[in-house]
């Protein structure tokens, strides 16, 4: 057993230089490290550094968008997505509060978004001052900084990406998933995802590497590896995630991934914000659970819904958006050429979907 997170991190980084014989021995050491980690009990949410409150948390739905004036095509497409998401949500629930954080540089664009908010009874907020826009993956991580806007409120928060379609009353999720601090769907290809498998000579070790890299950065309990498109934060746990201390930790971790000082085992740098949040959840020993597959559908279309489409929330994802756009005339407006889609995705912050050190540096045949 190693004596510190740093020793484990050094062990992970040594993988690229190991012979096949030493690699197998190192795999055993890493898996041994994970035994105690995987049996450590997480805290129930009321033990997680939250001041006790006699107030019943209010249920709110939350969206967030950073408008880059130099990329109007992205804003125009996001507008279409959000209009579909809000229209479908309000079809089944006209009362629940929807909060939308928006950052834009022109009065014209702000007025356009404000008008859409008024159409669907959505409250529009400016971004919290803690977010500078210079952080790694700034195009996606502002949602966690914006939680600071409500640090004094007792809330259960359902965060939704714009690429979501609501097929029933979202109150069902608040009523069904009440016990634990955080609920979501597993990211594609990770341990509890029913859609994609992991390939390679030792696919289970790839999953172990993700856990080990999280432990080396301070995660103290095993947590789910969430896709962040649909996340429910219960019991005012947003107060923990958006604390000054945790946001500094989160930002520094992202910078470490970006400059390669942090071991990052995932072959996709675009989801490094997810990795950082997983570490943050584990660092704070939060209890995490999964949405039922019947209630939240991840990608379009999951096999279970091919004949009976009945999720509460569909996260159709950018990857499968074209399939969703072809599904019904009301979604045709989302259709884009492959060239336009790739240009939009790559221009978000010039972070390409590139292969990480797992293939380029380690070269140990995991994928």
pLDDT band at residue 52 under the 50/70/90 scheme: low
Q: Looking at 66-70, 176-180, 243-247, 363-367, which range is the least confident one?
A: 363-367
Q: What is the mean pLDDT of residues 309-335?
A: 93
Q: What is the pLDDT of residue 346?
A: 47
DSSP state of 327: T
C-alpha distances (whole Å) from 240 to each of 48, 58, 62, 130, 243 are: 8, 17, 17, 15, 5
Q: What is the pLDDT of residue 207?
A: 92
Q: What predicted TM-score, i.e. pTM, was given to this entire model?
A: 0.90
E strand segments, 161-272:
164-166, 182-186, 226-233
DSSP-derived secondary structure for 254-277: HHHHHTT-S----S-GGGHHHHHH
- Determine the Cα–Cα distance for residues 358 and 264; give it in Å rounded to an integer: 8
pLDDT single digits (tens) 207-223: 999 999 999 999 999 99
Q: What is the pLDDT of residue 357?
A: 39
Q: What is the mean pLDDT of residues 269-287?
A: 94
Q: What is the mean pLDDT of residues 355-359?
A: 40
Token pair of 199 as six digits: 């390939």
From the list 300, 305, 331, 295, the residue with the least C-alpha distance to 316 is 300
Query: Above 60 in pLDDT, residue 361?
Result: no
Report the run of H or E that residue 63 belongs to, with start and end: strand 58-66
**Helices 244-258 & 272-283, crossing angle to 10 degrees?**
140
Domains of the chain: 45-362 (3.90.550.10)
Q: Which long-range contacts (CB under 8 A, 24 or more apart) does 124-132 make?
A: 124/100, 125/99, 125/100, 125/101, 125/149, 126/101, 126/102, 127/64, 127/66, 127/101, 127/102, 127/103, 128/101, 128/242, 130/242, 130/244, 130/247, 131/103
- Determine the Cα–Cα distance for residues 86 and 62; give it in Å rounded to an integer: 11
Token pair of 250 as six digits: 């989160």
pLDDT band at residue 322 under the 50/70/90 scheme: very high
pLDDT single digits (tens) 197-206: 887 788 889 8
DSSP tally for the chain: helices H, then strands E: 13, 10
pLDDT single digits (tens) 75-100: 999 999 999 999 999 999 999 999 99
Q: Which long-range contacts (CB under 8 A, 24 or more apart) does 243-247 make?
A: 243/151, 244/130, 246/280, 246/283, 246/284, 247/130, 247/144, 247/145, 247/148
From the list 359, 43, 3, the residue with the least C-alpha distance to 209 is 359
């Amino acid at each position: 057993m190693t004596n510190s997170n740093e020793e484990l991190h050094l062990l992970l980084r040594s993988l690229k230089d190991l012979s096949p014989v030493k690699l197998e021995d190192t795999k055993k050491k890493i898996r041994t490290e994970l035994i105690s980690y995987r049996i450590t009990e997480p805290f129930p949410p009321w033990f997680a550094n939250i001041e006790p409150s006699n107030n019943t948390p209010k249920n709110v739905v939350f969206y967030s968008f950073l408008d880059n004036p130099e990329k109007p095509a992205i804003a125009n497409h996001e507008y279409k997505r959000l209009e579909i998401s809000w229209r479908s949500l309000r079809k089944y629930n006209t009362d629940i509060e929807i909060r939308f954080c928006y950052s834009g540089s022109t009065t014209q664009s702000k007025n356009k978004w404000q008008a859409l908010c008024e159409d669907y009874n959505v409250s529009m907020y400016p971004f919290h001052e803690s977010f500078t826009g210079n952080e790694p993956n700034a195009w996606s991580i502002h949602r966690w900084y914006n939680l600071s806007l409500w640090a004094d409120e007792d809330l259960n928060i359902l965060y939704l990406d714009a690429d979501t379609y609501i097929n029933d009353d979202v109150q069902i999720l608040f009523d069904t998933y009440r016990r634990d601090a955080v609920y979501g769907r597993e990211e594609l290809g990770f341990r509890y995802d029913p859609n994609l498998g992991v390939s390679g000579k030792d696919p289970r070790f790839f999953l172990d590497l993700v856990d080990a890299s999280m432990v080396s950065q301070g995660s103290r309990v095993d947590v789910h590896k969430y896709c962040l498109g649909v996340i429910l934060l219960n019991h005012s746990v947003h107060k923990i995630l958006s604390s000054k201390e945790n946001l500094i930790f989160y930002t520094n971790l992202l910078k470490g991934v970006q400059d390669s000082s942090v071991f990052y085992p995932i072959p996709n740098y675009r989801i490094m914000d997810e990795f950082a949040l997983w570490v943050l959840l584990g660092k704070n020993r939060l209890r995490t659970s999964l949405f039922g597959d019947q209630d939240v559908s991840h990608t379009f279309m999951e096999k279970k819904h091919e004949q009976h489409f009945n999720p509460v929330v569909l996260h159709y994802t950018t990857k499968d958006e074209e399939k969703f756009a072809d599904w019904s005339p009301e979604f045709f407006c989302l259709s884009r050429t492959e060239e336009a889609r790739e240009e939009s995705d790559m221009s978000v912050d010039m972070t390409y979907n590139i292969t990480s050190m797992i293939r380029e540096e380690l070269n140990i045949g995991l994928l």
